Amino acid sequence: MNLVLDAGNTRVKLAVFQQDEILEKAICSSENFFEISGKLFQKYPGIGQGIVSNVGKLPENMLEKLPENIKMLHLDGEIKLPFRMKYTTPQSLGKDRIALIAAAVQQYRGKNVLVIDAGTCITYDF
């Protein structure tokens, strides 16, 4: 079981996955992150690993307080991806954008895809 954590500019989104199936989703603020994440860990004790995209206001020390037995991967411009990124400075590319493109590549393998993210900022990636 995996945990996906997306800390954006206004909200923190969490999802528990088993293979490619979403078992549960939750949205919270950084203020009630521990309450919401704690309920997910309690309900799904089989969570063993996860990935974090933190572009928002969730302090790194809060992530350090996640259960010790969970191996968390931090998404950044240096992460090895299952596709070739042509962006010349991937370190400056938003983590949320990298995650969205990775999902688009997974779902639409071999096809051209336009990804529009209408979050706090609207971005377009092709």
Which residues form the catalytic set?
A: 96
Distances (CA, A) of 35 to 57, 64, 77, 88: 17, 15, 30, 39
* Residues making up the chain, counted from first to last: 126
Do residues 25 and 13 touch, judged by C-beta distance below 8 A? yes
53 membership: H or E segment, kind and range? strand 49-54
Q: Please state, in angstroms and rounded to a whole number, the distance separating the CA atoms of residues 116 and 126.
A: 9
Can you read off the two tokens belonging to residue 108? 């639409």
